[in-house]
Amino acid sequence: MKYYSPFAIEQLANHIQGDISAFNWLINNGYPELVAVIDAVRDDKKAFKFLIDGKHFVLAAFVNTIWDDEKAFKFLIDSKAFDWAACANIINGDDKAEKALKAAGKLHFIGLSKAILGRIHEDGDRATTPVGMLKNIFNFKKKFD
């Protein structure tokens, strides 16, 4: 399992919130897999394949755990990727996970979970606006490619 510094995780959270310099930092410092995480969360199949092909299994399991995949959660636990598991659980509404990360001083994972949750909500809101609904209708074919 690859180690990611608190700063790298913070940069991922900043990137998710639209910070271009954080995106550039992640790319320039060799973390394209972290950039792929948010795309995979947003159901980009190429990004998820990138994680699998690159053997970033913990990150792929993290993405799947966000979407309530119990086997992926078990994989995170078995891999001792407790911070990633707790981060996903926060996104899924587990207050105890946030308290555990806070007690462990892992505030960067809490920030990441809130950034991802914000993006998920933003994407959902965008899909329910009249313009978003039209985009979804016109992108309907892409869903089946």
DSSP state of 83: H
Rounded CA-CA distance 65/29 in Å is 26
Per-residue pLDDT, averaged over 31-41, amounts to: 97
| Other C-beta atoms lying within 10 Å of the C-beta of residue 120 | 16
What's the mean pLDDT when you consider all of the chain? 89
pLDDT, one tens digit per residue, over 70-98 is 999 999 999 999 999 999 999 999 999 99
Q: Percent of the chain at pLDDT above 70?
A: 86
> Are 34 and 8 within 8 A, CB to CB?
yes
**Distance from C-alpha of 6 to C-alpha of 11, rounded to nearest angstrom:** 9
- Residue 118 pLDDT > 80: yes
Alpha helices in the chain (DSSP H): 6-16, 20-28, 32-41, 45-53, 57-66, 70-78, 82-91, 95-103, 107-128, 130-138, 140-143
pLDDT value at 41 more than 70: yes
pLDDT grade for 126, boundaries at 50, 70 and 90: low
Cβ burial, residue 137 (10 Å; 0-12/13-18/19+): exposed
Predicted pLDDT of residue 42: 92
